[in-house]
Amino acid sequence: MLIDGQLRAALDGRTFANENPATEQIIGEVADGSTADMDAAIGAARRAFDETAWGTDHDFRARCLRQLHDGLIDRADDLRATLVAEVGSPVLLTYGPQLDSPLSGIPWLADLVEKYAWETDLGILAPFGSPSRRYTRREPFGVVGAITPWNFPMQINLAKVVPALGAGNTVVLKPAPDTPWTATLLGQIAAEHTDIPAGVLNIVTSTDHMLGAQLSADPRVDLVSFTGSTATGRKIMINAADNITKTFLELGGKSALIALDDADLNTAAATAAMQITAHAGQGCAVTSRLLLPQSRYDEGVDAVVSRMEAVRFGDPTDTSVMMGPLIRESQRQRVLAYIERAVDQGATVATGGAIPPECPQGYFVQPTVIVGADRNAIVAQEEIFGPVLVVLAYDDEDDAVEIANGTSYGLSGAVISADIEHARKVANRIRTGTMSLNGGTYCGYDVPFGGYGHSGIGRESGVAGFEEYLETKSIAEPA
């Protein structure tokens, strides 16, 4: 772990095993932090913020971020191998959203730190007869507690740590126990390749999920940034409430891909299959519902089943594979239970729905298509986090919008149409934080990402994501 500038073991010496989900083999050990380790990390972050110039020296922070970027690039091969081994991510995805894309955003953020308008002049006003010059200052919150999941660990770790540091905060990162090494490598690189002062970045690995509660409830923490399930997000908010600690939450989704009645259904089917099977559907923003016009439903189902059955899955080190395993056995059983529940409620498995016999090792589930489900059925309402696509029929465009908006989530979505203007009009009616039109890609370090409703609070990435980690102070002085 990285605590107060030192790479060290847990105080009590405990460790836990790190497992490869594609082989079910133990690949190594990692420090298993305790409440004492977390307390030390929070204390170090508090001291570093209160007693150093980290929060006010913008140029120094930008330089440290560039050093971090250089160190990560130097260790890219190690990071890539680690992501494949502990996440089960197909190596192909490490050349995009799992690694290379998030790394490319760090220089952009460093540039933003240097050019950002830390002060804004609001001009002179004399509301009570005494002219005053007013201006605003943007300042860091203080100590940021960052709690991250296992599905895209390097991308999400960087999406929280880099802007939080760039804004002048100090950070305590608690990564998911399923994927600890991506975080410990980040800590090692920060300690050995940058001038980031001791205590500014702290990383605590642990199997104890209560350390997340400890981090979010500690009065020394000024902001909690969490990505994960909506259920856990609620607990984070409760833990933070006593101290009125700001919470930034990026939570779940049940996003819909709407194929309009003029859409090319082969394109829609290919898009839907790619979305739900890339990284085995373990993404909060994947479109896990495909909405087809009633008049073309059978045609669309045939197209998507064909596409799903052609998906290559298996060994994530194979560069032709886009779908690897689920993260662990309990997650596989959760996905299979959703499929069984769907059948019990009257739906049909059009393809897949089981453990693939050709993958005797690893936590694999076949690419699965569910048809005939009610739009309000559990399988059509709840986030499954697996390679399970639910295909629903709609009567007309208003009905499609109603179905798309008919969950508690509002993270993402997509529309496919022969007419891009038509697609835009429909997309504007969908209550989500991100939308893809005709295959457009919104993912990027400069694009704000987040959701409506139960999909979260706040935005990650872009200028908006950077500003989540800043307070606003208004100042007036005699003109």
Report the pLDDT averaged over residues 387-410: 98
SS (H, E, C) 261-318: CCCCHHHHHHHHHHHHHHHHHCCCCCEEEEEEEHHHHHHHHHHHHHHHHCCCECCCCC
- Give the closest residue to 198 by CA, choosing from 206, 189, 190, 208: 190
Confidence of residue 100 (pLDDT cuts 50, 70, 90): very high
**What order of strands is seen across the sheet that includes strand 170-174?**
6-7, 2-3, 201-203, 170-174, 143-147, 223-227, 246-250, 456-457
Rounded to 5 degrees, φ, ψ at 478 are -55, 135
Measure the CA dihedral 462/465/471/477, to 10°: 20
Q: Could you read off the pLDDT of 296-353 as tens digits, one per residue?
A: 999 999 999 999 999 999 999 999 999 999 999 999 999 999 999 999 999 999 999 9
Report the pLDDT averaged over residues 172-186: 98
- Give the closest residue to 96 by CA, choosing from 83, 114, 78, 115: 83
Q: Which alpha helices (H) appear in 405-444, and where do they start and end?
A: 420-427
Answer whether residue 129 shows pLDDT above 80: no
Exposure of 183 in the CB half-sphere (CA atoms within 13 A): 35
CA distance 96 to 114: 27
Confidence of residue 130 (pLDDT cuts 50, 70, 90): confident
pLDDT at 46: 98
Query: Exposure of 440 by Cβ count < 10 A (0-12 exposed, 13-18 middle, 19+ buried)?
Result: exposed
- Give the closest residue to 337 by CA, choosing from 386, 286, 400: 386
pLDDT at 252: 95
Answer whether residue 361 shows pLDDT above 80: yes
pLDDT at 92: 96
pLDDT at 30: 98
Q: Could you read off the pLDDT of 45-79 as tens digits, one per residue?
A: 999 999 999 999 999 999 999 999 999 999 999 99
pLDDT at 257: 98
CA distance 250 to 254: 13
Q: Report the percentage of the chain scoring pLDDT > 90.
A: 99
pLDDT at 478: 93
pLDDT at 127: 79
Answer whether residue 3 shows pLDDT above 90: yes
pLDDT at 464: 97
Query: Exposure of 360 by Cβ count < 10 A (0-12 exposed, 13-18 middle, 19+ buried)?
Result: exposed
pLDDT at 263: 97
Report the pLDDT averaged over residues 89-116: 97
Query: Exposure of 116 by Cβ count < 10 A (0-12 exposed, 13-18 middle, 19+ buried)?
Result: middle
pLDDT at 398: 98
CB 427 within 8 A of CB 435: yes
Q: What is the mean pLDDT of the chain?
A: 97
Report the pLDDT averaged over residues 245-267: 97
Q: Which helix (H) or strand (E) is 256 found in, with range?
A: strand 255-259
**Full set of structural domains in the chain with CATH:** 2-251+455-478 (3.40.605.10), 255-443 (3.40.309.10)
Query: Known catalytic residues?
Result: 250, 284
Side chain identity at residue 428, one-letter code: N
Q: Could you read off the pLDDT of 431-471 as tens digits, one per residue?
A: 999 999 999 999 889 999 999 999 999 999 999 999 999 99
User: What pTM was computed for the model?
Assistant: 0.96
